[in-house]
Amino acid sequence: MKILTLTAQDMSHRSAVLSRLPDVDIEVLSSKGGTFPDTPRNRQLAAQHHTELVQNHSLRDVDAIFLDTFGDYGCDAIRSMTGLPVFGAGESTLTVARTLAPRFAIITIWPASMRFIYSERLRSSRAEDNCTGIIHVPQTPDQSVPPVERVRSAAQDCIHNLAAEAIVLGCTCMAGMFEQLSQTLPVPVICPARTGLAFTIAAAAGGWRTSTQFQQGSDGTRAACRSSSAPGGG
């Protein structure tokens, strides 16, 4: 099976997942060069960038598409446009988090100014009531404390003070921390890079496809996505 993956990351940290699945062909479509989604407007531009990348790329033999970003930029539009199973790292992770633990916390290296991305994903995934907190541990020039240790400390605070029963890593770029955190924290750690890829592979293996009702625009948002992303659309 072939999985088309839109990513701005190095795929090497997925090796632990892919090594168990020798029949999976990961085709990487670089999403570098798009607008950084640090405002709601720029988030829309990032979604448009993803949609255009897929629109201009051959989907021959592609069984499913994975958006390797917690913000799931362009996910609905790409589903509508292609009819293929399309999964974003964010929605996949929040679905799994709700299944594994009724209460979870999100820890991210992105600044608090980008909280709107997490709030929107939680609303869309109907997981707002399950999230005990969104904790920002932004990167700093001071490397005296390794980033993974700062994230671990934040996770321990979430477990003890926010009653978090699972920890969600808030960016696919945090995948390199997963092994250390999952081995040392007393609750499940959910990595969006791994989880989103696993969801997408499962969709391809299961022969899933996007509903034709979805493609036709079963509500205003999806209809608008289809209209704006169709070839020749504005």
Same domain (yes/no): 157, 186:
yes
Q: Which residues of the chain have pLDDT under 70?
A: 10-22, 141, 212-234
Cα–Cα dist 124/137, whole Å: 24
- Assess whether 216 and 161 both reside in one domain: no
* CATH number of the structural domain spanning residue 126: 3.40.50.12500
Query: Does 112 share its domain with 147?
Result: yes
pLDDT, one tens digit per residue, over 153-205 is 999 999 999 999 999 999 999 999 999 999 999 999 999 999 999 999 998 88
Q: What range does the domain containing 146 cover?
A: 91-191
> How many domains is the chain built from?
2
In a shared domain, residues 108 and 182? yes
State the pTM of this model. Answer: 0.84
Judge whether 40 lies within some domain. Answer: yes
Residue 223: what pLDDT? 39
- Using H for helix, E for strand and C for coil, what is the string for the chain? CEEEEEECCCHHHHHHHHCCCCCCEEEEEECCCCCCCCCHHHHHHHHHHHHHHHHCCCCCCCCEEEECCCCCCCHHHHHHHHCCCEEEHHHHHHHHHHHHCCCEEEEECCCHHHHHHHHHHHHHCCCHHHEEEEEECCCCCCCCCCHHHHHHHHHHHHHHHCCCCCEEECCHHHHHHHHHHHHHCCCCEECHHHHHHHHHHHHHHCCCCCCHHHHHCCCHHHHHHHHHHCCCCC
